């Protein structure tokens, strides 16, 4: 098991954002978290990345607990996040955005090779290499955010709402890229609001609502389950 | 109050002095707290109002026949005025409010650290003006001969009045609105609160109270010098507000007493004490260093201060804690 | 007063303020804390020139060293003190999640602590010390006499700005600092070590403070334990009018403030000159009334607390 989250609970102030969430991701998988707004998906990602302190529960990466470690240590252990809203450094150039992220990786020669590989994946970034990231279009910024997260060769890539604010055509392309990453051996945990896209992408899917786990299973099984849509929008059984 | 009676009867002049000083600082700390606790903005500039208040009271009451010698630049009506001290205190505090109204109109547009720095600049401006305005402030030399009407009971009266003013403001809808902006500026703005105006109201009221603190200070010591109202006083009063608890009125009062007590203890130690025949004394200057270190420790380990967000009930008036 | 002379004076004071504002801006960028103690770093650098004693007469200590050593010595002392304030005061606060107000007040407390310590060691009496004696002379350029120290101040400032800008753009650590200034948490999620980036920012601000110490003392020759305060205020106001969070803004803001002070000094009638700063800051408040976000701000460099 690459990542396992066990009975995770996160609170903002006194209000719990996540109740007793458990999930796992094994190496080579694509796993999706779906759910409506406020389901706690992003909070879960931030907790794994070490930005939000869990109130209870444990997070293990490669068999070691990473709960309570600072974000930079977690990044250096091999977890990279493409955050909601992209959060690229607008006042830095495309190159500099990538340089910031490459610090988590080892040797210089290795870094060079990884730069070439990532830029081959996103040709548009090669074109705008020395331009300011703030001047990129939304779609280009999303590609930069993913490229930046990939530059340190993460073992686990966390992607939060990659299609948010993108035209459907661009969103399709981003999802295509994500799929191709798996072929390179990257494991992905993706948060997505659109259940359709999520089920199409992931091997397994978890459905969250109001900070609780509602359903989970292989994507093809869930896609065929009539209860899934029902659960997404309201009613539904609770474990 | 009972404690004060006890001090008056048993304490002798030394304790009486400390209690008086603590209550003068209480007035200033409460004044600062009216603004800081409700707006959430750290003020490095409230000593300005103590300065303005102290000198304005001196203009009206100081030095009997010598007023024209010390401050030849005063207009004739001030040179001749025989204002009763309490009326003079009121007028002086009002002048502090006017200064706050004018300067606050600009500064209250800023938020966070920028506002704090602008407030410090305000103090710097006013101090520079007073230092160089020789004809009405005696410039860089001291003014002596202010009527010494402040004793423990006067200070107690002023402190009580300050607390009542603060409490009335806190309980008012103005106080409520301003505290809402402290918690979430964007949300308060979105629901139509005019943040600038709310901050300005608190600023003017707090300047009035702090100004009264300055008046007391001058008439307690009997002498005034501009450079007294500078970083030391800023630091000490700020330390009071922080030590007690930045977010509550009770904090300001508790802090004023705690810090005054601490400073006096340290000063006594600097003068030297006998412990079983062994005389111990701290080197002079240890007081400031110790106070700074203690403040840093409190900020690190108990940033909410001694009382935190708790509010004590003053004079029976109930108030919801914010 | 000749116009060229005036412009040189204005640029000299502007340069000094720009360096102070930049030092404050660097730390503000990564930590969102206005470092009050920055002015006191400058003061420490100046006092390190003389033997620490309560005696009235200041015997030179580092101030007597040959000048390359003198510069290196002051740089070391100030940078170490800057790092020490970060390590022993601000880091603990940051780790405990202190909010903006708490950080601001603690930097005020650190400033007060440094001042009290210097007061304790050196007493409050102003002392005088002379370094770089050769700089006190006037030089004549095309018939205009200007202070050599002012010319040197301007040149040193330009060199420091170029060097720093090169460092921030070319080196990995510099790029990390710029990224951290824009979005600290994001930078950490990409593996940027928070402690290191912040310590580096403090170190750089220490170097800038040391430069100001030397330039200031070379010009005035006076030591006073409160000398850092007006400089720090000028630096803060510079960062505020430049737009908080922007380094070029801080430089421009500081420079304009210094230049404006000097020009105002020349324009004011003699009896109002001592109150020059009151007029300058009054002007600043009026400016902020119309542009609360600062004069040179472009993007959304809002305060993150």
| C175–A100 CB contact, under 8 Å | yes
The model's pLDDT over C222-275, given as tens digits with 9 standing for 90+, comes to: 899 999 999 999 999 899 888 888 889 999 999 999 999 999 988 888 888 888
Which of A153, A171, A199 represents a domain boundary (last residue)? Answer: A153
| B117–C305 CB contact, under 8 Å | no
In contact, C284 and C237? CB cutoff 8 Å: yes
| Residue A166 sits in the same domain as residue A238 | yes
- B114 contact residues in C (CB cutoff 8 A): 240, 244, 292, 303
CA distance C108 to C228: 12
| Residue A9 sits in the same domain as residue A35 | yes
CA distance C89 to C102: 12
Among C226, C237, C289, the residue with its CB nearest the CB of B121 is C237
The distance from CA C136 to its chain's CA centroid, rounded to whole angstroms, is 22
| Residue A133 sits in the same domain as residue A53 | no
CA distance A98 to A113: 13
Tokens in use for C169? 């753009």
| Residue A146 sits in the same domain as residue A218 | no
| C102–B299 CB contact, under 8 Å | yes
Distance from CA of C38 to the nearest CA of B (A): 14
Nearest of B166, B291, B308, B283 to residue B236 by alpha carbon: B291
- C166 touching A (Cβ < 8 Å): no
Q: For the residues A228-236, what does the mean pLDDT come to? A: 71
CA B72 vs CA A122, A161, C240, C270: distances in Å: 79, 73, 39, 20
Which of A132, A153, A174 represents a domain boundary (last residue)? Answer: A153
CA A20 vs CA A56, A112, A160, A232, C163: distances in Å: 8, 42, 20, 19, 52
What are the two backbone dihedrals, phi and then psi, of residue C55, each rounded to the nearest 5 degrees? -60, 150
Q: Is the pLDDT of residue A58 over 50?
A: yes
| B110–C292 CB contact, under 8 Å | yes
| Residue A74 sits in the same domain as residue A161 | yes
Among C183, C192, C299, the residue with its CB nearest the CB of A103 is C192
Tokens in use for C99? 């909010």
Among A49, A92, A99, the residue with its CB nearest the CB of C172 is A99
CA distance C115 to C44: 9
ipTM: 0.90
- A134 contact residues in C (CB cutoff 8 A): 299
Distance from CA of C53 to the nearest CA of B (A): 14
Question: Would you give the DSSP letter of residue A156?
Answer: E
The secondary structure element, H or E, covering residue A201 is helix A195-201
| Residue A13, domain extent | 1-78+155-239
- A80 contact residues in C (CB cutoff 8 A): 189-190
- Residue A193 pLDDT: 84
| Residue A108 sits in the same domain as residue A144 | yes
The model's pLDDT over A111-168, given as tens digits with 9 standing for 90+, comes to: 788 899 899 889 999 999 999 999 998 889 999 999 999 998 899 999 998 888 788 8
Distance from CA of C20 to the nearest CA of A (A): 23
The CATH number that applies at residue A30 is: 3.40.50.300
Distance from CA of B154 to the nearest CA of C (A): 32
| A89–C185 CB contact, under 8 Å | no
First to last CA, chain B: 27
The model's pLDDT over B14-69, given as tens digits with 9 standing for 90+, comes to: 888 889 999 999 999 999 999 999 999 999 999 999 999 999 999 888 876 777 77
Torsion angle of the four alpha carbons C57, C62, C66, C68, in this order, in degrees rounded to the nearest 10? -140
- C278 touching B (Cβ < 8 Å): yes
Angle value at C-alpha B196, between B194 and B198, nearest 5 degrees: 70
Helix (H, G, I), strand (E, B), or coil: what is residue B56?
helix
The model's pLDDT over B226-263, given as tens digits with 9 standing for 90+, comes to: 989 998 999 999 999 999 988 889 999 999 999 999 99
| Residue A72 sits in the same domain as residue A128 | no
CA B275 vs CA B271, B272, B278, C67: distances in Å: 13, 10, 5, 52
| Residue A36 sits in the same domain as residue A140 | no
C165's CB contacts (< 8 A; 6+ apart) are none
| C190–A49 CB contact, under 8 Å | no
| Residue A236 sits in the same domain as residue A210 | yes
Among C34, C104, C282, the residue with its CB nearest the CB of B125 is C282
Angle value at C-alpha B7, between B5 and B11, nearest 5 degrees: 145
Tokens in use for B85? 């001290």
- C120 contact residues in B (CB cutoff 8 A): 283, 285-286, 288-289
Q: Assess whether chains A and B touch, using the rule of 3 or more C-beta pairs within 8 angstroms.
A: no
| Residue A73 sits in the same domain as residue A91 | no
Q: Assess whether chains A and C touch, using the rule of 3 or more C-beta pairs within 8 angstroms.
A: yes
Which of A153, A181, A199 represents a domain boundary (last residue)? Answer: A153
Chains touching C, CB cut-off 8 Å, 3+ pairs: A, B
In contact, C36 and C107? CB cutoff 8 Å: yes
- B303 contact residues in C (CB cutoff 8 A): 96, 98-99, 102
Contacts for B175-183: CB closer than 8 Å, 24+ residues apart: B175/B38, B175/B202, B178/B38, B178/B39, B178/B202, B179/B38, B179/B322, B181/B39, B181/B40, B182/B38, B182/B39, B182/B40
Higher-scoring residue by pLDDT: B189, B47? B47
Model pTM?
Answer: 0.90
Place B202 in a pLDDT band, splitting at 50, 70 and 90.
Answer: very high
E runs forming strands in chain A: 3-12, 15-25, 30-34, 56-61, 64-65, 79-82, 156-160, 187-192, 204-209, 212-218
The distance from CA A105 to its chain's CA centroid, rounded to whole angstroms, is 19
β-strand partners of B223 = B144
For C174, nearest residue in chain A (alpha carbons): A100
| Residue A166 sits in the same domain as residue A64 | yes
| Residue A193 sits in the same domain as residue A144 | no
How many domains is chain A built from?
Answer: 2
Q: Is the pLDDT of residue B316 over 70?
A: no
Distance from CA of C169 to the nearest CA of A (A): 8
Q: Diameter of chain A by CA atoms?
A: 55
């Amino acid at each position: 098991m690459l990542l396992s989250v066990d009975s995770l609970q996160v609170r903002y102030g006194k209000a719990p954002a996540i109740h007793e969430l458990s999930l796992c991701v094994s190496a080579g998988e694509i796993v999706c978290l779906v759910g409506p707004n406020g389901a706690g998906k992003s909070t879960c990602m931030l907790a794994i990345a070490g930005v939000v302190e869990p109130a209870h529960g444990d997070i293990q990466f490669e068999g070691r607990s990473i709960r309570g470690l600072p974000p930079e240590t977690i990044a250096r252990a091999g977890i990279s996040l493409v955050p909601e809203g992209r959060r690229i450094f607008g006042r830095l150039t495309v190159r500099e955005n990538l340089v910031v992220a490459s610090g988590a990786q080892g040797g210089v020669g290795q870094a060079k090779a990884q730069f070439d590989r990532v830029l081959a994946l996103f040709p548009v970034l090669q074109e705008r290499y020395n331009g300011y990231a703030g001047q990129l279009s939304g779609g280009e910024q999303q590609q930069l955010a993913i490229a930046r997260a990939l530059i340190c060769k993460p073992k686990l890539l966390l992607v939060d709402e990659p299609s948010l604010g993108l035209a459907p055509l661009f969103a399709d392309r981003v999802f295509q890229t994500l799929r191709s990453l798996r072929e390179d051996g990257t494991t992905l945990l993706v948060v997505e609001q659109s259940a359709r896209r999520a089920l199409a992408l992931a091997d397994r899917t978890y459905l969250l609502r109001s900070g609780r786990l509602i359903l989970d299973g292989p994507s093809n099984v869930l896609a065929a389950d009539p209860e899934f849509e029902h659960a997404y929008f309201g009613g539904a059984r609770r474990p | 109050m009972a404690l004060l009676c006890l001090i008056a009867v048993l304490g002798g002049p030394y304790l009486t002095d400390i209690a008086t000083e603590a209550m003068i600082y209480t007035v200033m700390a409460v004044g600062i707290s009216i603004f800081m606790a409700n707006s959430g903005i750290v003020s490095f500039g409230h000593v300005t109002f103590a300065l303005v208040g102290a000198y304005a009271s001196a203009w009206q009451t100081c030095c009997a026949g010598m007023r024209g010698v010390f401050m030849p630049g005063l207009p004739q009506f001030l040179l001749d005025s025989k204002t009763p001290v309490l009326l003079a205190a009121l007028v002086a505090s009002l002048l502090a409010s006017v200064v706050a109204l004018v300067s606050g109109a600009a500064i209250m547009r800023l938020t966070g650290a920028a506002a704090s720095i602008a407030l410090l600049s305000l103090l710097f401006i006013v101090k520079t003006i007073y230092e160089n305005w020789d004809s009405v402030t005696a410039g860089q030399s001291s003014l002596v001969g202010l009527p010494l009407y402040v004793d423990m009971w006067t200070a107690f009266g002023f402190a009580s009045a300050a607390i009542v003013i603060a409490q009335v403001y806190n309980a008012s809808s103005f106080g409520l609105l301003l505290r809402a902006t402290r918690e979430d500026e964007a949300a308060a703005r979105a629901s139509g609160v005019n943040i600038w105006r709310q901050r300005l109201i608190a600023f003017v009221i707090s300047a009035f109270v702090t100004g009264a603190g300055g008046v007391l200070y001058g008439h307690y010591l009997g002498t005034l010098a501009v450079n007294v109202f500078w970083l030391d006083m800023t630091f000490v009063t700020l330390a009071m507000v922080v030590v007690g608890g930045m977010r509550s009125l009770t904090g300001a009062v508790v802090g004023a007493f705690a810090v005054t007590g601490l400073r006096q203890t340290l000063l006594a130690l600097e003068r030297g004490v006998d412990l079983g025949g062994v005389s111990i004394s701290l080197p002079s200057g240890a007081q400031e260093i110790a106070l700074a270190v203690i403040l840093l420790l409190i900020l690190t380990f108990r940033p909410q201060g001694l009382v935190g967000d708790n509010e004590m009930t003053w004079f029976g008036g109930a108030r919801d804690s914010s | 007063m000749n116009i060229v002379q005036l412009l040189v004076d204005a640029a000299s004071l502007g340069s000094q303020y720009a360096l102070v504002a930049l030092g404050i801006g660097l730390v503000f960028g990564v930590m969102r804390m206005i470092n009050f103690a920055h002015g006191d770093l400058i003061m420490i650098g100046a006092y390190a020139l003389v033997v620490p004693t309560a005696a009235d007469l200041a015997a030179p200590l580092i101030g007597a060293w040959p000048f390359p050593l003198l510069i290196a010595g002051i740089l070391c002392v100030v940078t170490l003190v800057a790092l020490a304030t970060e390590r022993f005061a601000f880091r603990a606060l940051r780790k405990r999640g202190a909010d903006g107000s708490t950080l601001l007040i603690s930097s005020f407390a650190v400033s007060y602590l440094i001042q009290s310590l210097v007061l304790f060691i050196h007493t409050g009496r102003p002392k005088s010390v002379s370094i770089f004696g050769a700089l006190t002379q006037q030089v004549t350029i095309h018939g205009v006499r200007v202070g050599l120290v002012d010319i040197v101040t301007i040149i040193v400032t330009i060199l420091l700005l170029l060097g720093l800008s090169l460092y921030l753009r070319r080196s990995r650590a510099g790029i990390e600092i710029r990224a951290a200034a824009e979005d600290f948490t994001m930078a950490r999620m990409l593996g940027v070590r928070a402690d290191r980036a912040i310590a580096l920012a403090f170190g750089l601000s220490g170097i800038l403070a040391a430069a100001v110490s030397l330039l200031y003392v070379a010009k005035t020759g006076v030591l006073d334990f409160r000398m850092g305060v007006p400089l720090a205020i000028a630096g803060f106001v510079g960062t505020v009018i430049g737009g908080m969070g922007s380094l070029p803004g801080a430089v421009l803001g500081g420079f304009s403030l210094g230049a404006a002070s000097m020009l105002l000094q020349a324009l004011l009638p003699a009896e109002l000159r001592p109150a020059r700063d009151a007029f300058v800051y009054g002007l600043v408040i009026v400016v902020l009334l119309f542009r609360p976000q600062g004069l040179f701000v472009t993007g959304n460099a809002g305060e993150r607390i």
